[in-house]
Amino acid sequence: MLTIAWFAIVVVLYSYGRGIVGYALPLSIVGPLEAAAGVIWIWSMNMTRVSMCLMILRVKTSKQWKWSLWGLTAVQIGLIIAATSVNLNYCHPLTAAWKPNPDDVCLKPSQMKAFGYTYNCE
């Protein structure tokens, strides 16, 4: 369900011109959708991995498999918490990501790049 919700948001984003070079996106609409898509994508990918671990857990009964699979499940839940926290705290307030003000505080692009590399290389 989460993957379907993410895909629906991405379809809406592309209907607004996402991915077209030089096309000016309406940030008041696209900004919140991008934030929601990011969080939903994180949840959907990690919950898919948790689901796979739980499915294999029913088949494999040895202690090594059980400990490994429960460990992987715990790591995925930790990744959900960490990645959701980073995505929702990218800017203070979050609306500064699409409506910047001089007083708002956002992570630097290099920090988000480091987070992206760290999260995606798990």
pLDDT class of 9 with cuts at 50, 70, 90: very high
Q: Where are the domains of the chain?
A: 2-120
How much is the average pLDDT of 105-114? Answer: 88
Residue 55 is predicted with a pLDDT of 94
pTM (2 decimals)? 0.79
For 59-74, write each residue's pLDDT tens digit: 988 999 999 999 999 9
For 82-106, write each residue's pLDDT tens digit: 999 988 888 888 888 888 888 888 8
Question: Taking Cα atoms as reference points, which of 20, 16, 47 lies closest to residue 33?
Answer: 16
CA dihedral 105, 108, 36, 54 (to 10 degrees): -120
Chain centroid, CA 37 distance in Å: 7
Residue 122 is predicted with a pLDDT of 57
